[in-house]
């Protein structure tokens, strides 16, 4: 076993994409994720998963930003993204485009992410690292999912949880 690099890696990934086109589209609304490191990781995820759109809201820092650019490996150049101050406006806009708004949050009606039936167009909403998604934003979401935690921690880092659910939806 040897790691692929250069042209060999590029061909491998191209051939994989051709043979395994995801049937679902994923977008994301990022509500007041405060740390540039997390935003950079979300940009890298959005590129890797070929998210249809990424909407940054509230206090979420935006590119260009040295930490976002470094962690995200300048993927903001490849990702369809925009800033919208009000996350409710952003969610209403994606819903009007046929997306289901899915909060990635532990709430009383949330189901484990792997048991949920996703539509062809899903928009995942994630919130602040400490406070999560606000009540007003939860009220405009169609449903909620969570990543089960089996250890003592109650949650994962926002970009990690978003990655888990995004790739599950792509291959659901």
pLDDT digits (tens, 9 = 90+) for 110-160: 999 999 999 999 999 999 999 999 999 999 999 999 999 999 999 999 999
Among residues 26, 28, 92, 104, the alpha carbon closest in space to that of 60 is found at: 28
Cα torsion 165, 52, 81, 145 to 10°: value is -20
Decide: 19 and 50 in contact? Cβ < 8 Å. Answer: no
Token pair in block for residue 121: 């167009």
Q: Rounded to an integer, what distance in angstroms lies between the CA atom of residue 126 and that of residue 107?
A: 13
pLDDT at 172 over 90: no
Mean pLDDT of 9-36: 96
CATH numbers and ranges of domains, the chain: 22-170 (3.40.1280.10)
Q: Rounded to an integer, what distance in angstroms lies between the CA atom of residue 145 and that of residue 128?
A: 16
């Amino acid at each position: 076993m040897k790691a692929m690099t250069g042209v060999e890696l590029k061909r491998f990934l191209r051939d994989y994409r051709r043979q395994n086109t995801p049937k679902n589209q994923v977008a994301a609304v990022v509500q007041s994720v405060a740390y540039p490191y997390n935003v950079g990781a979300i940009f890298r995820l959005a590129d890797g998963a070929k998210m249809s759109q990424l909407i940054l809201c509230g206090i979420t820092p935006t590119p260009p930003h040295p930490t976002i650019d470094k962690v995200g490996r300048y993927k903001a150049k490849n990702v369809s993204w925009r800033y919208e101050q009000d996350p409710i406006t952003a969610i209403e806009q994606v819903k009007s485009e046929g997306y289901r708004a899915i909060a990635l949050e532990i709430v009383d009606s949330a189901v484990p992410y792997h048991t949920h039936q996703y539509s062809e167009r899903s928009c995942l909403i994630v919130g602040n690292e400490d406070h999560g998604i606000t009540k007003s934003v939860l009220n405009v979401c169609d449903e909620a999912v969570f990543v089960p935690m089996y250890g003592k921690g109650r949650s994962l880092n926002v970009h990690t949880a978003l990655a888990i659910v995004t790739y599950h939806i792509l291959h659901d």
